[in-house]
Amino acid sequence: MTQPRIPILIDTDIGDDIDDALAIALAVNSPEVELRAVTTVFGPVAIRTKLALKLLATYGCSEIPVGTGRGTPLFGPEPKIMPNQAVVLQEGERLPEPSPLAADELILRTASDLGGRLTIITIGGMTNMAVALLRDPSLASRARLVVMGGVVGTPMAEWNIVCDPEAARICFQSGIPLTMVGLDVTTQCQMSREDVAAVGRRATPATALLKRMIDAWAGPGDPATRRTPVLHDPLAVAVSFRPELCMRQPRRVVVETRGEFTRAFTLASQTEPTNADVCLGVDAPGFLRLFMERILSR
């Protein structure tokens, strides 16, 4: 019997690292999931919304709402950055209209409409998700959360947590069922130069746009020596419907927000009660095969 599709919402800072665009592409090419909405976060969110709208439209998914979220973290100034992939946006091009709902409202509305079946995947700073939980704490009992963020095997702060440590702490403490897909596993999943070349050779409208975005992220230079994407965010999407790709353990994860040298560290212990399934190992070859198969499918 066919399994029902898993409804998901992706909260993204698309436009900086290339893995956000690749994660959205994986979602729309995966029959196991139904992408119900996208929300944007961190810094120049209006540009990020346009990038998400363009990517979805190129895949023929203009009906998926994209809600513009918070550019500023809960505490601190708005980041002054310009997404490198904004170069794919053309002056005056016609794009679908963004959702009239702000990101936190779109998160809450989508969760309510789905009656507890929604999986939210955060692949950027967690500000929108924290605001939604603060507005309606019952969201923690009406959705599950997959977080691309954090690291437990190395004493360091991971970027998505750094973007808004207070927001991340709120989410981890909310009681929502949570899977953490951190650098312990994502850094093992990297496209090869041949993988990147295969995306270019596919030459559909969608893969052509992805290749332009990859090139904008990689920067100028010889394609034979340029960096290739690490698939942090696509792995989080894949774990939402193929949890067996990662070996997980329940842990108690606390986000440090006050340490002078440890701010944004994700401190994980096996102390009860646990609040997250933490990914500690990954079938990287299996995931990469799945990813490339789906990305090249159209």
Catalytic amino acids? 232
3-state secondary structure of 286: helix
Question: Following DSSP, what letter does each residue of 9-61 receive, concatenated?
Answer: EEEE-TTSSTHHHHHHHHHHT-TTEEEEEEEE-SSSHHHHHHHHHHHHHHTT-
List the strands of the sheet with 246-255, edge to edge. Answer: 66-68, 33-40, 6-12, 118-122, 143-148, 178-181, 276-282, 246-255, 266-269
3-state secondary structure of 222: coil
Amino acid (1-letter code) at residue 113: D
Q: Are 134 and 164 in contact (CB under 8 A)?
A: no
Q: How much is the CA Rg of the chain, to the nearest whole Å?
A: 18
Say how far apart CA 150 and CA 138 lie, in whole Å: 24
